Amino acid sequence: MINTILNIFLPPLTIIFLFLLYPSYLLGKLVIRLYKHLSFENVARKVVLITGASSGIGEHVAYEYAKKGACLVLVARRRDRLEIVAQKSHQLGSGDVLVIPGDVANINDCKKLIDDTIHHFGKLDHLINNAGVFQTILFEDFTQIQDANPIMDINFWGSTYITYFAIPHLRKSKGKIIVITSGAASIPLSLASVYSASKAALVRFFETLRVELSPDIKITIVFPGVISTDMTTPHFVEKYGSDFFLSESVTKCAKAIFRGIARGETYIEEPSWLKWMFLINSVTPEMFDYLVNYLFFRYLKPYFKRD
């Protein structure tokens, strides 16, 4: 009976809410946004752990923190690349940089990463879950379905493992968790079904965790579009002969992410026009599906013809 009543009355009540209360909601949101633009977090001497810091978004976000005097913990599997990032971070203004090679898909490595950070610095203020892998393949073209496991292990479990061990320390510092997802978490990305699923899982997990950890720990979820990094560029160059025309420079993306974190944004879409694509997808999903299907069959599928 309760569900029947909700089925009848909730649609008109929702419409009334949108007409009467939504303008007030937008006004309040504008006021909050203006306040956030005026209040910028001082990250000098704060301890920031960044996974996937050897290249791409993680590397360049590290440089933005370094310019403001933050202490950095750089995590990735490639020590040689981490040492280069650490050296440049020192030059940009970071007072102390700790390099810890590790694999976030390994739960024991994740515990060690947090333990080493606390042992060296005594605290943790920001955790940036950035480590991830990208793959373009038709789902039915996996030789074995188990070949998809590493994508989920790194993209999803890698962020959840290290977050689990970091939470007690972030509670003490009233810190922040920043998770780098993807526009593919909200928009169907052809040829990347498992990748998209791993990023969508991150969004729902950290949205739920935001409720559980409030108000002690703030969580920012980042939705990058196509960013020119070592991870994405080779896929486009190899298949199409050039980088994607809508791709954005990693430097510009990192600057926008850092500004959003310092302002305490709940969500960061970069480039910002992505949020309007998310809105179109929510309001007119059938039209959006038609557009995605057209682009896939017209421009992408010919490059992935099965034998």
Residues designated as active site: 195
Which residues does residue 47 pair with via DSSP β-bridges, in sequence order? 71
Structure tokens at 145: 């379905």
Structure tokens at 64: 């933005």
Q: Which residues of 194-228 are buried (b: 16+ CB within 10 A; e: fewer)?
A: bbbbbbbbbbebbeebbeebeeebbbbbbbbbbbb
- Whose tokens are 């310092």? That residue is 262
Q: Which residues of 31-56 are buried (b: 16+ CB within 10 A; e: fewer)?
A: eeeeebeeeeeebeebbbbbbbbbbb
* Dist CA 216 CA 224 (whole Å): 26
* Dist CA 54 CA 189 (whole Å): 26
Structure tokens at 129: 């879950």
Q: Do 225 and 274 touch, CB atoms closer than 8 A?
A: yes
Which residues does residue 219 pair with via DSSP β-bridges, in sequence order? 177
Is the CA virtual torsion 215, 70, 60, 192 positive or negative? Answer: negative
